Structures are given as C-alpha cells and as structure tokens.
Amino acid sequence: MAEYDFDLFVIGAGSGGVRASRMAAAQGMKVAVAEDRYMGGTCVNVGCVPKKLFVYASGYSAGFSDARAYGWNSGGVEFDWPTLRDNNAKEVARLNGIYRNLLDNSGVETLNGRASIKGPHSVIVNGKEITAKRILVATGGWPFIPNIPGREFALTSNEVFSMENFPKRVLVVGGGYIAVEFAGIFAGLGANVHLSYRRDLFLRGFDRDIRTFVRDEMQKKNIDLKFNHNVVSIEKLQDGSLLAHADDGSSINVDMVLYATGRVANVEGLGLEEQGVVLHKDGTISVDDNFRTSVRSIYALGDVTGEPQLTPVALAEAMALVKHWRTGETAEIDYNNIPTAVFCQPNIGTVGLSEEEARDSGLDVTIYKSEFRPMRHTVSGNTERTLMKLVVDASNDKVIGVHMVGDDAGEIIQGMAVALKAGATKSTFDSTIGIHPTAAEEFVTMRTPVAG
C-alpha cells in the first residue's frame, strides 16, 4: 500500500503549476492539482493573453486613421464593447479547455477547489484530506488595492475584462506596466483617460530614457498623466459616477477607477504560516535554490515566491524543479538578462541592464541611441516615434543592455535577448547586415556613441 495518496500535490493550475504537474507525471509520479478559480492562472484568464488581445483592439483606432493616407476610406467606424468582451471570453474559455485537457492527457488528477495545507504531507480540498509526498504551492499573485475609503468602488485587472458597460471616463491608478498598458488600451478604445502615479515618473526600474520617451508618446495620445499625484479616497455619486479625491485637494470625476498598484502573493487561507513555512515581509514565500520552503516537503515557485512575475520564468522554474527531483542536481535558473515587454502604445521591449543600473554598478559604459519616425508613419502623418538604445561595456565591448520603444518591440527584443545571452559585442552588432527597410536594422547600424 502506498504511503501517500499522491507523489506530488500542486496547489494552483497556472503556468508554473500546470507545467510542473505535467512534467512530474511524465516522470512517473502520481500527481494531483487543485485550482479554485480558473485553469491557466492569471496569464491566460486576466493577464497577458486577454491584455494583448485588448491592446490589439485598441490599436485599430489609430490604424483606421492612418489608413486614409494610404488610400483607404474606411468611412464611419465605431467601437462595440460587448463584441470585444464576449470574443475575449470565448478565447479564454477555449484556452481553459486546452489547459484542462493537457492535465487530463498527462494523467494528472484535477480537483476544483481551494486547497489548504494541513500538515507537511497533507492538504484539505473541499473538506477532504489528501496526502502527498511533496506539496508544491504555485498560487501566483493577486491585485492589490490600498485600504482607502471607497476602495470597494474600484476595479482591478481581475474584473476589467468582463465589465458590463464600457466607461467613457477612466482613471488608472498606478505606475507599473499594468497601469501604463491599460491607460493605452482605454485611450485607444475611445475613453477619456487619466493616469495617476504618486511618484515623479512611471515604470520605475526601466531605463530612464525609455521612461521619459513613453511619457511623451502617451501625452501625444491625449492621456492625462498626473505625476506626484496620490488618490486618497473614492466617492460614488448619485448618478453612479465616481469622484476620486487626491491628497492635493483636487478631484477627478470618472465612470471607472482601475487600480494597478501592484500584486501580492496569493497565499491567504493556504495555512502556510501555521505549518511553519517562512514568508518574506511582503508575503511572498521564502525558498532555497531548489524551490524548497522551510518545510522540507513543501515547495513553491512562480509569482508567489517574488521572483520576476513573468509566465516564462514560472515555466522555467517548473522545469528546473522537476529535473531537480529526477536527478538531484541543483535547480539552476539564470535570472540575468530576462527579456520583457510592456504592451503600452508604442510597445516597450528591453533586455539586460539599463544605463542607470550599469553606471550604478561601477561599469564604464558607452551609449548608442537612435530616435526616428517609423517608415509607415512618414506617409500617414502619425507623429508616433521609435527609440532604440544600446548599453555597451566599454572595457570589453560587450552589449549589456538593449532597449526599444516602438512597434513590435517585444518581437524584436526577443532576438536581441539571444544575442546578449551569447555574449555578443558591439562589433558583432556592427558586422551584422541588417534587413532593409525595417526598424530593427537600426540596432546594427548605430555607429556613433552618445556624447557624454
């Protein structure tokens, strides 16, 4: 008789949890996974997938306008919110089914319900106790709204994709990539958008040139950027609209307030602390290099541990963890030079060190930059511009940072990430022949460093 019901019990069927479950089952483990919300986790349901679809939708407004200069008379066009909302829901439902089938076809038992940990080798799901040799927590993150009066009137990215009605006036609160992306989405779909951020410039942690460039491009799109602005309360008026009050005494009347002020670890009700699992001050789970918590039989990975909150990171961690269980080798993950994209408009793509990070670390760097109007806008008259930037270590000529703001920046930077991982030098870039005419060729034609 088996000592435990399962070899592995996974709490959370997001990207990391599903990948770990499938790979462990493929290694012959008996695996179960519990999910209390939706298959595929944040990315599939209320994160990167629907967000990217909404970015596509919001870009058509400028596309219709630009097309006239190319001879296309699109006539009168109008946006229909229910069509976008419902088609997005259909695509998410399709992906939910794919994730469930992946688990079923891998022999993983799927349980619908919130699991809590009762002991080092036991969990409770829907009132039933289940035992496992190992427990893996992969519950991801959860949107955070500060405890201000009227917080119940605000929405988060969890609810925004399924709103009944489209808001004509929107206040987005936050300064991270989610806030910047949704400000662009709603502006592109026709809303009057304000963005409130409590510091002097959003996208903290990104290269300063990128941040200021995106600020200027967003202002061109008539997005009202309010920096050093702190919302302290939200009031619901008799007509159903919302009045957001700031600490400077000003107020903004809108139809919707969207909070994008960060995400916290989704650990409530899991019973971690009761079992002696050590948490960081921010609520994320402390793990060692092999994703093991302070309780030897309990593991954690993905956003819930506080590592870069990116789907590919969770997938890589899941594969490294299962390999560790199979071989006993350390679960090595290289968190350096992880490429990332922000799907604001225009997009941001970045990999490696920012200029500020490089200089703060004591490196002597040479900077190359190029700013230009994309070719397609030379005819359309659209004033949107593109920025590209290289950060080069002057001591060895290695390219240590590549940054871009412009159309398809994420697609272009993915290839640049391979070059950085391979240790490409500026001379390598210079000797590479570009594809003409493309925006990406600018990365291999920048020859003159920025003065100073």
- At 452 the pLDDT is 67
Domain stop point among 272, 305, 327: 327
Domain stop point among 261, 276, 294: 261
- At 332 the pLDDT is 86
- At 164 the pLDDT is 97
- Joined together, the tokens standing for residue 178 give 């989610």
Same domain, 198 and 234: yes
- 8 A C-beta contact, residue 216 and residue 129: no
Same domain, 40 and 54: yes
Same domain, 184 and 74: no
Q: Which amino acid is at 287?
A: V
- 8 A C-beta contact, residue 84 and residue 185: no
Q: Return averaged pLDDT per consecutive 10 residues of the chain, 452 residues in all.
A: 91 97 98 95 95 97 93 88 98 96 97 96 98 98 97 97 97 98 98 98 98 98 97 98 97 98 96 97 96 98 94 97 96 94 97 98 98 95 97 98 97 98 98 97 96 73
Give the strand pairing for 251-254 and 386-393.
Answer: unpaired
Same domain, 323 and 356: no
Same domain, 132 and 24: yes
Range of the domain at 164: 151-261
Same domain, 129 and 198: no
Count the neighbouring beta carbons within 10 Å of the beta carbon of residue 236. 12
- At 1 the pLDDT is 55
Q: Is 451 among the domain residues?
A: no
**DSSP-assigned beta bridge partners for residue 348:** 342, 405
Q: Is 185 among the domain residues?
A: yes
Cα dihedral: 317, 320, 325, 330 (round 10): -110
pTM, two decimals, is: 0.96
Number of domains into which the chain is organized: 3
Same domain, 249 and 296: no
Residue 192 φ/ψ, nearest 5 degrees:
-90, 115
Q: Is 436 among the domain residues?
A: yes
- At 451 the pLDDT is 79
Cis peptide before 143 (omega within 30 of 0): no
Domain stop point among 245, 261, 277: 261
HEC assignment per residue over the chain:
CCCCCEEEEEECCCHHHHHHHHHHHHCCCCEEEEECCCCCHHHHHHCHHHHHHHHHHHHHHHHHHHHHHHCCCCCCCCCCHHHHHHHHHHHHHHHHHHHHHHHHHCCCEEEECCEEEEECCEEEECCEEEEEEEEEECCCEEECCCCCCCHHHCECCCCHHHCCCCCCEEEEECCCHHHHHHHHHHHHCCCEEEEECCCCCCCCCCCHHHHHHHHHHHHHCCCEEECCCCEEEEEECCCCCEEEEECCCCEEEECEEEECCCEEECCCCCCCHHHCCCECCCCCECCCCCCECCCCCEEECHHHHCCCCCHHHHHHHHHHHHHHHHHCCCCCCCCCCCCEEECCCCCEEEEECCHHHHHHCCCCEEEEEEEECCHHHHHHCCCCCEEEEEEEECCCCEEEEEEEECCCHHHHHHHHHHHHHCCCEHHHHHHCCCCCCCCHHHHHCCCCCCCC
Same domain, 221 and 249: yes
CATH number of residue 241's parent domain: 3.50.50.60
Q: Is 403 among the domain residues?
A: yes
- At 75 the pLDDT is 77
Q: Is 16 among the domain residues?
A: yes
Same domain, 106 and 129: yes
Same domain, 163 and 250: yes
CATH number of residue 420's parent domain: 3.30.390.30
Residue 73 φ/ψ, nearest 5 degrees:
-100, 95
Same domain, 212 and 284: no
Give the strand pairing for 128-137 and 6-11.
Answer: parallel
Q: Which amino acid is at 135?
A: I
Q: Is 1 among the domain residues?
A: no
Residues annotated as catalytic (active site), given as ranges = 436
Same domain, 247 and 270: no
Q: Is 188 among the domain residues?
A: yes
Q: Is 155 among the domain residues?
A: yes
